Structure 1
Amino acid sequence: MNTHTTRGLSLLAALLSLTTAPSAQTSVPSSHADSAPAGHGVATDAHPWVVVPMQARDPVNYITNLRDGQKLESPFVLKFGLTRQGLASISEEVQGAGHHHLLINRDLPLDFTKPLPFNDQYLHFGKGQMEAVLNLKPGTYRLRMLLANHKHIPYFIYSPAITVQVTQQRASVKPESLLRKGVSLLTPQPGDVVKRPFRVQMHASGLNISHTQIRDKASGHFQLLMKGPNGAETLDFNHGHTEAWVKPPAGTYQLRLQYVNNATLQVSHETPWQTLTVQ
């Protein structure tokens, strides 16, 4: 196994946490709030459309944009998600929430009671980042996500390991050029026809997602606007959730995902409206 890593990985990860002050845009309605954490340290959202379906498993990390065995050139963007659990920055303890770590060519720790180390094979995303720019040398790498608390002590929440092959390191591509601040809906896609309940996967690029207990201007949370046959609804994910299962009444909806700054409660980034048909 090739274990080459680069000195710049930690710097690149830090670049992703940089945020600008949000522009004065939309104030956040406070009509929907999250409920207290439920079992397994999982918080559920109070809005009646947000459900935890029977098919949902225990919380798990996952990599959203790469597949096992993929060949690629560096630098490249690695995106990661989390189901049934919220994100929070490490500035203070938040029950039932954590932050991502990327393990490069490392197995899961033998002792889950000790903090994860800080080096180029354990990348920490303590501000609530959902992606990283990796600038790896050519070689084969095993990648795995692992969630930990504010003290970097891991939960039993991790992704399957995937192996990728870096075929070339492109000196002409500046890693920072791959950073694009914004939010996106990974699922559903525009024009999709879905059955209830359906999965909503949210992603933030160059922005930090955190439980609203963290009132930091460098942190924010998702909210989903849904305009349907019976009016408009706002689904706030105040616990730092990046994924949800939603069960609205059947009909045609317009969806928009927004990023809400935790300190100012202003919307700084949002997606275009997209159409969704719910059966």
Structure 2
Amino acid sequence: MNTCKQWLHQLAVGIAALAGSACIHAAPDAGDVHVHPWVVPPVNLQPSAYFTNLKDGDTVESPFVARFGLSMRGLVPAGKQAGRAGHHHLLINQPLPMDFSKPLPFTDQYVHFGQGQMEAVLDLKPGTYNLSLLLADQGHIPFFVFSKPVNIVVSRRNTALPRATVQGRPRVEILSPADGAALQNAFRVVFHASGLNVSHADAKAPGTGHFRLTLQRKGARAEVLAFRGGQTETWLEPPAGDYQMKLELVDNATGKVISAAPDIRIRSDVVRENGERVVPAAKVAQR
């Protein structure tokens, strides 16, 4: 299925969803986005999934890691219900289902990540593949939350390379922004967990954790944002200043830190007066 046909199919799915129960899943509620004065709505208000390390047209060698991102929703293992959190599914050479009221099948082309995983090691034969992500609930019934499809080429298969070597040690990372970034507008912070499972804290799922982000500015108290809803990203617009940013994965059962990412430093140039964002005169003149 070429890219044009894929998007025509997705448009048809969208129209069908708006006419049925799937549209109920689309609107965010208070539990989908962390609440904090520095947290702002994302650019795209539609909940969606996405690949954080693959883009359309990529060429890779097997085995390789596919990493999953999620906007305006959280993760929770299969069989657990917590708000409208869900778990990822990877569709390989399969279009989105036309009927969002039926559970997804268990096949090699519908890969389920029911433990709250954020990535997968894929060992595909050489060839061309169409990949997409789809979020589903505790019973594997899809939400209207999916990714844009990406078409990739697997150029060769290295059967001697162990999967564990490809994935690396269990860890958490801040995928963006980059260390040392200077940011003038609202920006997205993307979290990632390799070899670890993420979940909404209310599900009390054993072996899972939730992300906690700490921003420290010199001379000010630390701002701690706990993403207990299983969120794996946030959009921030903090006051101007230099910040040290720390990301941790906190065990949902014990409250202890499972893993911590290396700290990064960023600079925010956002200026506020009485809580309102101030746009510099030079930028106003450029509009």
- Residue pair 1:77, 1:131 contacting (<8 A) in 2 also: yes
Tell me whether 1:246 sits opposite 2:220 in the alignment.
no
Give the Å deviation of 1:176. Answer: 2.3
How far apart are 1:85 and its partner, in Å?
A: 0.8
Give me the whole-angstrom Cα distance separating, in 2, the residues matched to 1:92 and 1:187. 29
Residue 156 of structure 1, CA deviation? 1.0
Higher helix share: 2
Q: Matches of 2:67 and 2:37 in 1, distance apart?
A: 29
Q: Read off the aligned partner of 1:207 and give its amino acid letter.
A: L
Indicate the structure whose relative CO is greater, using CA pairs within 8 Å and at least 6 residues apart. 1
1:111-150 to 2 correspondences below 5 Å: 111-150=99-138
Question: Among 242, 246, 253, which residue is 1:256 paired with?
Answer: 246
| Partner Cα distance (1:214, 1:226) in 2 | 27
1:69 maps to 2:57: yes
Match of 2:79 in 1: 91
Q: Distance in 2 between matches of 1:101 and 1:48?
A: 33
| Alpha-carbon separation, structure 2, partners of 1:277 and 1:239 | 27
RMSD: 1.5
Give, in angstroms, the shift of residue 195 of structure 1.
Answer: 2.1
- Structure 1 39/136 Cα, relative in aligned 2: closer, same or farther at 3 Å? closer
TM-superposed CA distance for 1:40, in Å, is 2.7
Aligned to 1:21: none
Q: Percent identity?
A: 47
Gaps of 5+ in 2: 2-25, 270-287
Shift of residue 97, structure 1, vs aligned partner? 0.7
Residue 157 of structure 2 corresponds to residue 169 of structure 1: yes
Instruction: Count residues in correspondence.
Output: 242
Superposed displacement of residue 206, structure 1: 0.6
In the superposition, the TM-score normalised over structure 2's length comes to 0.81
- Whether 1:151 and 2:139 are equivalent positions in the alignment is yes
Measured after TM superposition, the shift of residue 178 of structure 1 is 1.9
Displacement, 1:147? 0.5
Equivalent residue of 2:202, what SS? coil
Q: Which amino acid aligns with 2:242?
A: T
Give SS of 1:231's match: coil
Match of 1:276 among 244, 266, 276: 266
- Partner SS, residue 197 of structure 2: coil
Tell me which structure has the larger Cα radius of gyration.
2
Q: Deviations over 1:156-202 (max 9, x none)?
A: 11111111111111011011222321011111110000124211111
1:218 counterpart = 2:202: no
